[in-house]
C-alpha cells in the first residue's frame, strides 16, 4: 500500500494527552505524553500525517501540563510536532440544524438546572445549619450547596458544547476535513452533527503504531 494512502489530518483535544487510558502499566503521565508525541512525530516524518490544535486548546493543555510539573522536553516536542492553527470561524459554515439543536438542548438544560436548584432550596430549608458529625467546619447546608454544584454542573455541562475550546476544535476539524481525537463524550456526540469522523483518544497511539508498520524499515525516519 502506498504511504500516500495514510496521509491524514487530525485535530487533537486536551483529553487525549491527559487520559490515563493512553498510559502503559506503571507509566507516568509525562512518559505517556512523550511517547505519544514521538509517535506523532514519526507519523508526520514517514507518512505525512499532520496533527493540529487550535491555540485555545494549546493554551488549555499547556496550563494543565504546567500544573503537573512536566519537563521542558514535553513542551519542546509539543510545539515542534503539533501544529497550532486558528480555525477560520468566518469561512466555515455550520448547518442551521446544528444551531437549532443547540438552542433546543440548552433550553432543556436550563429547565433541568432549575429543577436541581429548586430541590436543593427545599432541602436547605429542612436542613439544620449545624456542623456535620464527621466534619469540623461543614454544616448540613454546606453539604446541600456542594451537592447542588455537582448536580447543576452535570445538568448544564455534560454532553454539551460548553467552552470556546470545544467549539474551536470542531470548527478547525470541519475546516481541515480532519478527524477529531478526544476522550470527551460531549465532543464525540457533536461530531455527528458536524459531519466529522472521530477516534477515541485511547485508540490513537495504537492507530499511529499500526500505520507506522507499513513503513519500509530501511527508509524509516525517526526523531532520534
More reliable by pLDDT, 64 or 140: 64
pLDDT at 157 over 70: no
Winning range, highest mean pLDDT, from 4-18, 34-48, 94-108, 156-170 = 34-48
What is the structure's pLDDT at 118?
67
Beta bridge partners of 12: 181
pLDDT at 127 over 90: no
What's the rounded Cα separation, in Å, for the pair 141 and 120?
9
Q: What is the mean pLDDT of residues 149-178?
A: 78
More reliable by pLDDT, 215 or 120: 215
pLDDT at 107 over 80: no
Winning range, highest mean pLDDT, from 91-105, 108-122, 136-150 = 91-105
What is the structure's pLDDT at 116?
72
More reliable by pLDDT, 147 or 41: 41
The distance from CA 191 to its chain's CA centroid, rounded to whole angstroms, is 12
Q: What is the mean pLDDT of residues 26-32?
A: 96
pLDDT at 159 over 70: no
More reliable by pLDDT, 22 or 106: 22
Q: DSSP letter string over the chain?
A: --GGGG--EEEE-HHHHH-GGGPPTT--HHHHHHHHHHHHHHHHHHH--EEEE-HHHHHHHHHHHHHTT--HHHHHHHHHHEEE----TTT----HHHHHHHHHHHHHHHHHHHHHHHHHHHHHHHS-SSB-TT-SS-BHHHHHHHHHHHHHHHHHHTTS--SHHHHHHHHHHHHHT-EEEE--HHHHHHHHHTT--EEEGGGHHHHHHHHHTTS-TTT-----
What is the structure's pLDDT at 6?
64
- Rounded to the nearest integer, the mean pLDDT of the chain is 84
Q: What is the mean pLDDT of residues 133-146?
A: 63
pLDDT at 105 over 90: no
Nearest residue to 165 (alpha-carbon basis) of 63, 43, 49: 63
Q: What is the mean pLDDT of residues 176-199?
A: 93
The pTM for the full model equals 0.75
pLDDT at 178 over 60: yes
Amino acid at each position: 500500500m502506498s504511504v500516500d494512502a495514510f496521509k491524514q489530518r487530525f485535530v487533537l483535544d486536551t483529553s487525549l494527552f491527559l487520559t490515563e487510558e493512553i498510559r502503559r502499566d506503571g507509566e507516568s503521565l509525562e512518559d505517556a505524553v512523550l511517547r505519544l508525541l514521538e509517535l506523532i512525530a514519526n507519523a508526520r516524518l514517514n507518512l505525512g500525517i499532520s496533527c493540529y490544535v487550535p491555540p485555545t486548546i494549546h493554551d488549555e493543555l499547556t496550563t494543565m501540563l504546567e500544573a503537573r510539573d512536566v519537563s521542558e522536553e514535553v513542551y519542546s516536542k509539543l510545539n515542534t510536532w503539533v501544529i497550532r492553527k486558528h480555525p477560520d470561524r468566518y469561512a466555515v459554515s455550520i448547518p442551521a440544524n446544528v444551531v437549532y439543536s443547540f438552542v433546543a438542548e440548552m433550553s432543556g438544560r436550563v429547565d433541568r438546572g432549575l429543577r436541581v436548584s429548586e430541590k436543593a432550596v427545599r432541602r436547605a430549608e429542612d436542613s439544620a445549619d449545624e456542623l456535620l458529625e464527621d466534619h469540623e467546619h461543614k454544616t448540613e447546608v454546606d453539604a446541600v450547596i456542594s451537592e447542588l454544584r455537582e448536580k447543576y454542573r452535570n445538568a448544564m455541562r455534560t454532553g454539551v458544547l460548553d467552552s470556546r475550546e470545544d467549539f474551536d476544535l470542531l470548527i478547525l476539524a470541519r475546516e481541515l476535513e480532519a478527524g477529531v481525537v478526544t476522550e470527551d463524550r460531549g465532543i464525540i456526540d457533536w461530531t455527528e452533527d458536524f459531519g466529522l469522523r472521530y477516534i477515541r483518544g485511547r485508540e490513537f497511539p495504537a492507530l499511529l503504531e499500526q500505520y507506522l508498520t507499513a513503513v519500509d524499515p530501511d527508509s524509516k525516519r525517526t526523531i532520534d
